[in-house]
Amino acid sequence: MSTTTGQRPEPSTGAASTPPPSLPEKWRALPLPARNLLGAAVALLVVTAFLAVTGDLTALRLATVGYTFLALAGLQLLVGGSGQISLGHGAFMMIGAYTMALLVLHLPMLPLATNLFIVVAVSAVAGIAVGAATARLHGPYLAGATLILAVGLPGIAHRYHDLFGGSNGLNIRTVGVPPFLDGVVTTSEWRALVVWFTVLLVLAALATISGGRLGRRMRAIRDDETAAAMSGIPVGRTKVVAFIIASAAGGLAGGLQAYALGTVTPSSFALVLSLTLIAALVLGGIGSLWGALWAAVAVVYLEVWASDLARAMDLGHNVQHNLPIVLFGVVLILVLRFWPLGLHGGLQALRNRIARR
């Protein structure tokens, strides 16, 4: 995967791989989609290897990192790419998750891939509606309007109890491991792999988009909307397109969440999800897919560590329950204070400093 909004075309690649140093020219000669797909393939291998080492226990956690990564990558495209701040990203995850659950419950004969396509289509349509309604808004006004979307939407699940299951949500059973892999991988490992396969495929597409004309237009708008408009870039349309892509990515992430967890409840899409997503993105670093990856890892693992820590130290119930959120907030504040460019920027600076020695 190449960086979403990198100013220079970095020859960077998969989650943990770098191209062999002897081949950088050959690598650069490849077309961008091919490079991104290769990077995604390498990343999938890394994930598989990680899964093989850690086993069934971390599979669900890994799947969580996967779909969170996708949701954040969509948000990254919107915020880092076109400079629009959406606080309602969780709403699109909710739309995707409920679409997925309803499809599995009411049209059980459809294969997973079809479901995922429908999920993307539905959340893209929602993105069109919201994006068109908010196209003229900027800065805090867009943030405010999308925020209220994130808060208002779970109300619908409560209101139409029969269809959406109210506060208990919906429980679904999806197909498990295919027969030929029976005994080789567990169900949760298989689900984690399916999630990551989908996520990486879509990320390769997102990286290609942001490396192309649309990405350049979005960055021009982010840097100076007036100047972009005067150079003939269709500002309104580009912003709406960015919003739609981000919504579709968020919706797909929600669909994958429903698939991986097997349950969908309105409370998992509460206000705090949307706020955590945007905060995590800044924590990870605005402007690159790496930032989105660190953000996803931080969201999932800070919570895990905090819970482990609280249990290990035998802290009281109140402390235990609130430690994850406090830890996330403290880490966020400290990173912003000392690494204004987020974890990705901080790590890069650190690497440069070591390289200079």
Partner 1 sequence: MDHFINLTLNGLALGAAYSALALSLVLIYQATRLVNFAQPAFALLSVYAAFAVTQITGSYWLGFGAALITGMTAGAAAERFVVRPIARVSPLNGVIVTLGMLLVVQGAVGMIWGNEQHAFGYAFSYVGRFSPADIFAVSAVAGVALLLFLLYRFTAIGLRMRAAAHHPEAARLSGVRVGLMLTAGWAIASFIGALAGMLAAPPFLYPNVFDIVFVFGITAAVVGGLDNPFGAILGGMLIGLGGSWVSGYVGPELATLSALVIVVVVLSVRPDGILSRPTARKV
Which chain residues interact with partner 1 by CB under 8 A?
85, 133-134, 136-138, 140-141, 143-145, 147-149, 151-152, 155-156, 158-159, 226, 270-271, 275-276, 278-279, 282-283, 286, 318-319, 321-326, 328-330, 332-333, 336-337, 340
Nearest distance from C-beta of residue 155 to partner 1, angstroms = 4
Helices (H), the chain: 24-29, 32-54, 59-76, 82, 89-106, 112-133, 139-159, 161-164, 187-211, 213-223, 225-230, 235-261, 271-284, 289-312, 317-338, 342-356
- State which residue, 141 or 301, has the beta carbon closest to partner 1: 141
- State which residue, 157 or 241, has the beta carbon closest to partner 1: 157
- State which residue, 96 or 342, has the beta carbon closest to partner 1: 342
Nearest distance from C-beta of residue 129 to partner 1, angstroms = 10
Instruction: For residue 164, give both structure tokens.
Output: 């959406």
Nearest distance from C-beta of residue 166 to partner 1, angstroms = 10
C-alpha distance across the termini of the chain, in Å: 29
Nearest distance from C-beta of residue 177 to partner 1, angstroms = 38
- State which residue, 51 or 75, has the beta carbon closest to partner 1: 75
Q: What are phi and psi of 185, to 5 degrees?
A: -125, 155
Identify the burial level of 162 via C-beta atoms within 10 angstroms of its C-beta, where 0-12 means exposed, 13-18 middle and 19 or more buried.
exposed
Cα–Cα dist 281/76, whole Å: 7
Nearest distance from C-beta of residue 336 to partner 1, angstroms = 5
Nearest distance from C-beta of residue 85 to partner 1, angstroms = 8
- State which residue, 205 or 270, has the beta carbon closest to partner 1: 270
Is-contact 302 327, C-beta < 8 A?
A: yes
Cα–Cα dist 130/134, whole Å: 6
The single-letter DSSP state of residue 231 is: T
- State which residue, 100 or 282, has the beta carbon closest to partner 1: 282
